């Protein structure tokens, strides 16, 4: 099926893209391996008067490309059992040194280049299949099957080449003909490996299916690595299950694995070690299926779906089509590097909510090198309801796990905000692989993410007066040990038992250690149910995010609230001085916005405005306000820069925070 589609698409492309003017076209009409009789005369002919692939390459190398790249076709090659098997008998093919088009799709059946007679282990040049050497940049290789080579199936040393609709290590009938080391090896940049509907099938290779090294800006798209469109097991890593190998291995910068448009993503599965390894910087991984496919089949890789060893990479991205689906692996994403962004992915599930759970953690952060990563939204980001940057992490052993401190230290300053985490067997976030890390007084402990204390929630309820959801909480972390202010994220929990944050519904800023405050969320702005529970996380200014707090609720209906249990004790509810507050208008505003505040009785009230970093920029009231009357306040932000600000009203023990957007 893949070959039939590729033939149709590439025939159209070949006809439309053929360059004008004179051009050498060599018709391979034999499966023999004889050399050309007179390289450079423009005629592919052996001593026996036939045209072999070896002779065609020799002639192309010796012929200038004045009228465009030379073309090697297979229209007249004889088939046996539906395939033309070219078994190399005279050593490796000559490396290609001119721009060339080799079009195996012109044959009536499979064109299989067989390297089983080459010396093993040999060398890269004596034991590899097709080698695109210096001078061959801009070549196109399509529709070939390459296998049984002791080293590489395809070895690309020049730039701007296109490899599509090929098979490396596996025949069209699924027969294993794996190459000893790598199926497709890129030691250059700006190449395209696979396109929409024209992907390569790469399987049964010794160490890796596709390996990128010392080459930037390569596009790897639409390929089947370790499988095909039926989900068959063609797993790479057949010679070794070493953790440095995988279906696709990227050890260079600025490459793109997959893409945002339908069909650009690679399907990577059945690896004896990892699905995808990223071991350098500024690479994009988008739209791929890793350990599964679009049909939700189990193609799990034996170790990690993604082994992220490098820094400053983006996995996903949060825009349409950028989500990776990662399931059925031992660990979904294993993070060793720092400053990476993991956003908008489905880990252990897919967009339909299927159970594709990874055996262990959905995401695991290991060692001190895994620092300053962002999982979901960043530490200073404003999170919209149902944010597209949320990772959905479900049906794994733990949602997100952290390695405890070891000889090389623990991962810290990793921000986890705005994700949809639910239905994992263990914790949604487990900082030290020890279950719930109990809060300690002042938060002086260290280890993973500084073992940041989670908020202590005293109660959560529905407030009818403002049609709002109210959460009262405090944080025991001392500002002597934890950098303030803290960002508090509120989630609806998946249930009362596991207490994972299945959807983000609001964010508060916490400024005073140990103080009990209340946070109010517009109930009309989120989808919720009276039986829902809430959980909270705290993130300090360095980006250390806590585990989820124990679940609090039910939220109930109008007027319904109660204290919840925490650490086997009933947390004190504290005084509650309800008040009503109008929405600031206008909002967004420039430069003034106005709101009114009414209290049932005279109460000390502080009305202040903070920027997104927690710095106070305005104080509108700090004293007793009379009860039973409306107090009007106007914020004049003429001296402030455009951006998001937090309006904070504290009356007694109750605090309400509203977001303001200043647009100049």
Q: Please give the backbone phi and psi of residue 7, each rounded to the nearest 5 degrees, phi first.
A: -60, -45
Angle at 71 between CA 67 and CA 76, to 5 degrees: 135
Give, as one character, the DSSP assignment of residue 19: P
Interacting residues of 6 by C-beta distance below 8 A, sequence separation 6+? 105, 142, 143, 164, 165, 197, 198
Work out the burial of residue 566: count CB atoms within 10 Å of its CB; fewer than 13 is exposed, 13-18 middle, 19 or more buried.
Answer: middle
At 412 the pLDDT is 95
pLDDT at 238: 78
Using alpha carbons, select from 257, 115, 121 the residue that is nearest to residue 186. Answer: 257
Distances (CA, A) of 525 to 320, 405, 422: 23, 41, 21
Distance CA 25, CA 10 (A): 17
Return d(Cα 648, Cα 664) in angstroms, integer.
22
For residues 428 and 449, what is the distance between their CA atoms, to the nearest angstrom?
15
Give the whole-angstrom CA distance, residue 562 versus residue 552: 9
Of 66, 63, 59, nearest in space to 28 by CA: 59
| Predicted local confidence at residue 245, as pLDDT | 86
Are the C-beta atoms of 178 and 143 separated by less than 8 Å? no
Q: What is the mean pLDDT of each run of 10 residues along the chain (664 residues)?
A: 46 36 86 96 96 98 88 98 96 97 98 96 94 97 98 98 98 97 98 98 97 96 98 88 82 98 97 96 98 97 97 95 97 98 98 97 95 96 94 98 76 97 97 88 92 95 88 96 97 93 97 95 89 96 97 70 30 46 88 90 87 82 89 94 85 74 85
Neighbouring residues of 569: CB distance < 8 A, sequence distance ≥ 6: none
User: Radius of gyration of the chain from Cα atoms?
Assistant: 31
pTM assigned to the model: 0.83
Instruction: Give the integer Cα–Cα distance in Å for 635 and 539.
Output: 28
| Euclidean distance between CA atoms 448 and 409, whole angstroms | 9
């Amino acid at each position: 099926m893949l070959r039939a589609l590729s033939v149709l698409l590439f025939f159209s492309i070949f006809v439309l893209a053929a360059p004008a003017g004179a051009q050498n076209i060599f018709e391979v009409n034999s499966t023999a391996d004889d050399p050309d009789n007179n390289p450079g005369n423009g005629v592919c002919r052996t001593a026996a008067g036939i045209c072999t692939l070896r002779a065609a390459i020799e002639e192309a190398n010796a012929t200038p490309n004045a009228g465009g790249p030379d073309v090697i076709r297979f229209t007249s090659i004889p088939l046996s059992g539906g395939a033309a098997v070219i078994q190399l008998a005279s050593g490796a093919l000559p490396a290609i040194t001119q721009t060339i088009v080799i079009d195996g799709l012109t044959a009536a059946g499979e064109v299989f280049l067989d390297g089983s007679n080459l010396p093993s282990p040999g060398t890269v040049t004596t034991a590899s299949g097709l080698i695109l050497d210096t001078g061959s940049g801009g070549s196109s290789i399509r529709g070939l099957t390459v296998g049984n080579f002791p080293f590489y199936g395809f070895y690309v040393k020049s730039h701007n080449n296109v490899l599509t609709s090929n098979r490396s290590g596996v025949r069209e009938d699924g027969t294993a003909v794996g190459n000893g080391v790598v199926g497709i090896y890129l030691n250059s940049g700006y190449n395209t490996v696979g396109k929409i509907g024209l992907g390569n099938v790469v399987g049964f290779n010794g160490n890796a299916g596709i390996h990128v090294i010392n080459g930037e800006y390569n596009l790897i798209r639409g390929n089947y690595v370790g499988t095909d469109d039926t989900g068959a097991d063609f797993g790479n890593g057949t010679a070794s299950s070493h953790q440095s190998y995988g279906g696709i291995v990227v050890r260079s910068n600025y490459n793109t694995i997959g893409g945002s448009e339908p069909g650009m993503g690679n399907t990577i599965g059945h690896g004896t070690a990892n699905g995808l390894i990223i071991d350098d910087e500024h690479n994009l991984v988008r739209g791929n299926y890793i350990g599964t496919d679009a049909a939700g089949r189990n193609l799990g890789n034996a170790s990690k779906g993604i082994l992220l060893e490098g820094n400053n990479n983006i996995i996903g991205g949060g825009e349409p089509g950028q989500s990776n689906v990662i399931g059925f692996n031992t660990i979904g994403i294993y993070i060793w590097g720092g400053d990476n962004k993991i956003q908008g992915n489905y880990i252990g599930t897919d967009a339909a909510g299927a159970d594709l759970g990874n055996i262990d953690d959905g995401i695991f952060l290991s060692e001190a090198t895994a620092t300053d990563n962002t999982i979901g939204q960043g530490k200073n980001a404003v999170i919209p309801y149902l944010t597209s940057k949320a990772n959905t992490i479900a049906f794994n052993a733990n949602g997100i796990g952290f390695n405890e401190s070891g000889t090389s230290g623990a991962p810290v300053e990793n921000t986890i905000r705005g994700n949809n985490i639910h239905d994992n067997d263990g914790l949604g976030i487990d900082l030290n692989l020890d279950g719930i890390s109990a809060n300690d007084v002042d938060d002086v402990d260290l280890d993973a993410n500084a073992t940041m204390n989670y908020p202590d929630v005293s109660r959560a309820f529905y407030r009818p007066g403002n049609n709002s959801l109210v959460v009262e909480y405090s944080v025991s972390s001392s500002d002597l040990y934890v950098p303030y202010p803290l960002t508090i994220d509120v989630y609806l929990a998946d249930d009362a038992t596991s207490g994972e944050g299945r959807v983000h519904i609001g964010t508060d800023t916490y400024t005073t250690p140990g103080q009990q405050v209340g946070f109010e969320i517009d109930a009309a702005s989120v989808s919720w149910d009276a039986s829902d529970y809430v959980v909270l996380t705290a993130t300090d200014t360095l980006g250390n995010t806590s585990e989820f707090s124990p679940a609090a609720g039910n939220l109930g209906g109008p007027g319904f609230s109660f204290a919840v249990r925490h650490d086997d004790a009933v947390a004190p509810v504290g005084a509650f001085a309800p008040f009503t507050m109008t929405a600031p208008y206008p909002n967004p505003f420039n430069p003034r916005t106005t709101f009114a505040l009414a209290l049932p009785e005279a109460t000390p009230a502080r009305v202040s405005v903070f920027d997104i970093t927690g710095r106070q920029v305005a104080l509108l009231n700090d004293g007793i306000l009379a009860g039973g009357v409306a107090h009007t306040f106007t914020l004049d932000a003429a001296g402030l820069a455009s951006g998001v600000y937090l309006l904070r009203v504290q009356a007694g023990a109750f605090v309400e925070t509203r977001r303001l957007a200043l647009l100049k």
